[in-house]
Chain A
Amino acid sequence: NAGVTQTPKFQVLKTGQSMTLQCAQDMNHEYMSWYRQDPGMGLRLIHYSVGAGITDQGEVPNGYNVSRSTTEDFPLRLLSAAPSQTSVYFCASGDSRGLAGGNTQYFGPGTRLTVL
């Protein structure tokens, strides 16, 4: 199993540009989520999905869209990039069959995004 994969690893955007961060998992997990990691602030939840066709907002959803058309994929779209979206983005997956009642999350390697 490849686990959770993310592409690209690095990206530089200009203000106003749009792009999609890709996330895929091959563990048949029902739950997927996107976090951003900023210095001194830990991980903040952007959006999450509890299954194909179901998405919901997390703590910091503004400026981001998601969709979940398949169990495997959960792309994150930046509609009009802003410097405040400069961050490291992590995708994670999990399911109810995992450790600790299913709350264990498996993380991808991250995408480092810079918005100029």
Chain B
Amino acid sequence: GEDVEQSLFLSVREGDSSVINCTYTDSSSTYLYWYKQEPGAGLQLLTYIFSNMDMKQDQRLTVLLNKKDKHLSLRIADTQTGDSAIYFCAESTGGFKTIFGAGTRLFVKA
């Protein structure tokens, strides 16, 4: 079945770049997402990319998609303590069904 995998933890120093990686198994995935969850809150859409794109940049965020390897990454430039959260990778083939990864907890050290 479909699966989305991510590493569970990442620790970076404030000001450095963070790179969160994700792999997925469904080759027919059409939409790939990054959601952010802050403590005690629900998930919020951070950014998304269509499967026919290789890269998307949005201010400090860069999403890279390697469709051949089914690999998605999220780069956060100049990471700040406010970026500390859990980041979820998710994929969808269309319709409303979305498969989420287990989430990567980002720790930012001052």
Q: Which residues of A contact B (CB under 8 A)?
A: 4, 31, 33, 35, 40-43, 45, 48, 50, 90, 92, 94, 99-110
Per CB-CB distance, the 9 closest pairs between chain A and chain B, nearest first, are: A107-B42, A42-B102, A43-B100, A103-B92, A42-B100, A107-B43, A100-B48, A31-B96, A100-B31
Q: Is B8 an interface position by the 8 A CB rule?
A: yes
Chain A residues positioned under 8 Å from B97 (CB to CB): 45, 48
B residues apposed to A, CB below 8 Å? 4, 8, 30-31, 33, 40-45, 48, 50, 88, 92, 94-98, 100-103
Residues of A within 8 A of B31 (CB): 100-101, 103
Cα distance A40–B88 when bound, in Å?
Answer: 11
With a CB–CB cut-off of 8 A, which chain B residues contact A108? 42
Contact partner of B96 (CB less than 8 A), chosen from A35, A102, A109, A110, is A102
The CA of A35 and the CA of B40, in the complex, are separated in Å by 15
Measured between alpha carbons, how far is A31 from B8 in the docked complex, in Å?
29
Q: How far is the CB of A73 from chain B (nearest CB, A)?
A: 17
The B interface is mostly helix, strand or loop, or mixed, namely loop
A40: B residues at CB distance < 8 A? 8, 102
Residues on A with C-beta less than 8 A from B33 are 100, 103-104
On whether the beta carbons of A42 and B88 are closer than 8 Å, the reply is: yes
Assess the B45–A104 pair: CB atoms within 8 A. Answer: yes
The interface residues of chain A lying within 8 Å CB-to-CB of B40 are: 109-110
**Bound complex: CA A40 to CA B45 (Å):** 20
Are B102 and A103 touching (Cβ within 8 A)? no
Shortest CB–CB separation between residue A1 and chain B, in angstroms?
15
Contact yes or no, A94 B96, CB < 8 A? yes
From A40, A94, A105, name the one whose CB has the most chain B CB atoms within 10 angstroms: A105
B44 touches A41 (CB 8 A): no
10 contacts between A and B (CB under 8 A): A40-B8, A40-B102, A42-B88, A48-B96, A92-B42, A100-B33, A100-B50, A104-B45, A107-B44, A109-B40
| Complex: chain A residue closest to B5, CB-CB | A42
Residue among B4, B31, B43, B48 with max Cβ neighbours from chain A (10 Å): B43
Chain A CB within 10 Å — which of B41, B95, B98, B103 has the most?
A: B98
